């Protein structure tokens, strides 16, 4: 595949991931009663926070600052979610939290899959194709970092620690991305590993897979 085509695939995947994570950040802000500014900030932090942290670890200027298109897309996505729910507040009524939980789950799963793969690819492009541990770390950090910052800023228990299989799905997907990249190249590693992460998340929700935890007595 030509380099231009690969660039197009990466760019469109990043835009989809940005929209998904920005929307999840906006939903969290709305759920916590934030105003339009807070909703936009949370949307941007969720969308670009993981990638910015990854870039700083690699010693690079964060890509979101060099190419502000991602910040602009995140703001637009957050504003769209806020506008829809502001004028259609009835969408939040009905079964308590049902829309919020479903929307958060879908958007977080999509964002997690895409950004985990992008994190691995960034590590490879920065000259670390043989360092499996670093690549998996960068992929996982990119995938879960924005959501972690979102939840800390919103004052809620981090989603990655309490809901189904989350960070573990990112780790599995990152490992898959590294191995497939070495065997078949960049494009197959991306188009296989991102859906794999999303699939693991959906299976975890459907079959109620959770990591062991200690139940507190009342």
Give me 21's structure tokens. 């994570």
The answer as to whether 83 is a domain residue is: yes
Q: What gap in Å lies between CA 190 and CA 139, rounded to an integer? A: 12
CA angle (191 as vertex; 187, 197 as ends), nearest 5: 135
Q: Running DSSP on this structure, what letter comes out for residue 92?
A: G
Q: What is the pLDDT of residues 48-76, one digit of tens each?
A: 999 999 999 999 999 889 989 999 999 99
> What pLDDT, on the 0 to 100 scale, is given for residue 85?
85
Give the Cα separation of 21 and 91 in Å (integer).
20
**Inside any domain, residue 67:** yes
Q: Is position 202 within any domain?
A: yes
Domain extent at residue 202:
3-206
pLDDT at 96: 46
What would the mean pLDDT of 1-16 be, rounded to a whole number? Answer: 72
- What residue has token string 């979101």? 64
* Cα distance between residue 75 and residue 207, in whole Å: 35
Query: Does any domain span residue 218?
Result: no
- Asked if the model's pLDDT at residue 37 lies above 70, the reply is yes
- The answer to whether residue 90 sits within a structural domain is yes
The residue behind tokens 């991931």 is 17
Residue 23 located in a structural domain: yes
129-154 pLDDT, tens digit per residue, is: 999 999 999 999 999 999 999 999 99
- Percent of the residues in the chain that have a pLDDT greater than 70, as a whole number: 89
- Is position 88 within any domain? yes
Domain tally for the chain? 1
Say what the pLDDT of residue 92 is. 61
Residue 31 lies in a domain: yes
């Amino acid at each position: 595949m030509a380099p231009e085509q690969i660039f197009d695939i990466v760019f469109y995947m990043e835009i989809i991931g940005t929209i998904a994570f920005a929307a999840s950040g906006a939903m969290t802000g709305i759920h916590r009663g934030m105003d339009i500014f807070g909703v936009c900030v949370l949307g941007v932090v969720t969308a670009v926070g993981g990638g910015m942290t990854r870039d700083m670890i690699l010693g690079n200027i964060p890509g979101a600052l060099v190419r502000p298109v991602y910040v602009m897309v995140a703001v637009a996505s957050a504003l769209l979610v806020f506008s829809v729910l502001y004028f259609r507040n009835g969408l939040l009524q009905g079964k308590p939290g049902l829309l919020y939980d479903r929307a958060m789950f879908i958007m977080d799963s999509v964002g997690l899959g895409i950004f985990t793969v992008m994190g691995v690819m960034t590590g490879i492009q920065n000259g670390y194709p043989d360092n499996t541990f670093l690549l998996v770390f960068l992929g996982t950090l990119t995938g879960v970092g924005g959501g972690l910052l979102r939840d800390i800023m919103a004052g809620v228990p981090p989603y990655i620690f309490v809901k189904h299989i989350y960070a573990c799905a990112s780790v599995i997907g990152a490992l898959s991305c590294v191995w497939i990249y070495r065997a078949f190249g960049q494009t197959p590693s991306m188009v296989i590993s991102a859906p794999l992460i999303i699939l693991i998340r959906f299976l975890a929700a459907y079959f109620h897979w959770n990591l062991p935890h200690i139940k507190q007595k009342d």
